[in-house]
Structure 1
Amino acid sequence: MLRLRVGLIGPAGLDRLDRLTVAIRNDHHRRGAGHHQRMGGPTPEEVKQHIWGPYRFTPHTGPDEAQADSTGRQVVYCSGLPLGEELPYQLEQTSPGHWMNGMTHQSWLQDRGTVIRLAFTAEHQDHGTWHLPCEIDTEAVPVTVAVPQQ
């Protein structure tokens, strides 16, 4: 298990976020696209939904009332977040897909590395929506993410 604390800072005049969505990105944005199922292999949807990084959010955990979805892919925080505050997230190691015969959990994690690819969607009623892709090395947490100006 890994605890990730995300703190946000932003441009002058922005005092809070109304909504923050944090999602685990796959190792490649087109992972699963063009995949054709082979006998006994994964479906294209299984390939696309599988989390290919080293960690996922622990399902049904999250800050306050926000809860990670059942796949551990995404957490939506809708309670309003003052800038400069931190949100704690609980992550757990991912596992190889059921179709990856012969790959041990240890070799999977070794192959995945220590970098988590995240996507932040920050929303504010007056200032709009920002999409912030980033990569966080789990060997260097906690991390503060800057909310850039539009």
Structure 2
Amino acid sequence: MNKDNENLVKSYRLLTVWLLSLFILAGIFSVLLIRLDLNLSSKVTTLFWLCFVSFYFISLLLMIYKTERVYYINYITHKEAQQATKEERRAFAYKHLIVFCIATFIFVIYSIVSLIFQYPAAVDFAVFIVIIIVSALRTVPFKLKE
């Protein structure tokens, strides 16, 4: 085992905190929207929620990058993560982060275009799903140990 892996203890506590914070922030935002009575259209609200989810997912990938807990990514086991060096774990997490940052950027640009041309909210949702799926598939070839 590598010396720099001594602190890579298997724990999903941070992931649980992240998920709980997602639900709490989503709840707070919903209450704020009702309290502030901004009268936003359903389209603007939908685009905001989709952008929020996208940015929040980036926060998860940043957390994975900072903590090197690459085993949070579905196809990596804790044992594989422990056997990799710190640099390999960080590089692996960074590749994922970059792909989803680009996806978020593309969706934000799309959102602006969608607001200008008033595409239906269903199209916005479909574009978001396609961008996320394509991004996820783009990361499948990434290997922890090159």
Both proteins in one fold, TM over 0.5:
no
TM score, norm. by length of structure 2: 0.31
TM-score (norm 1): 0.31
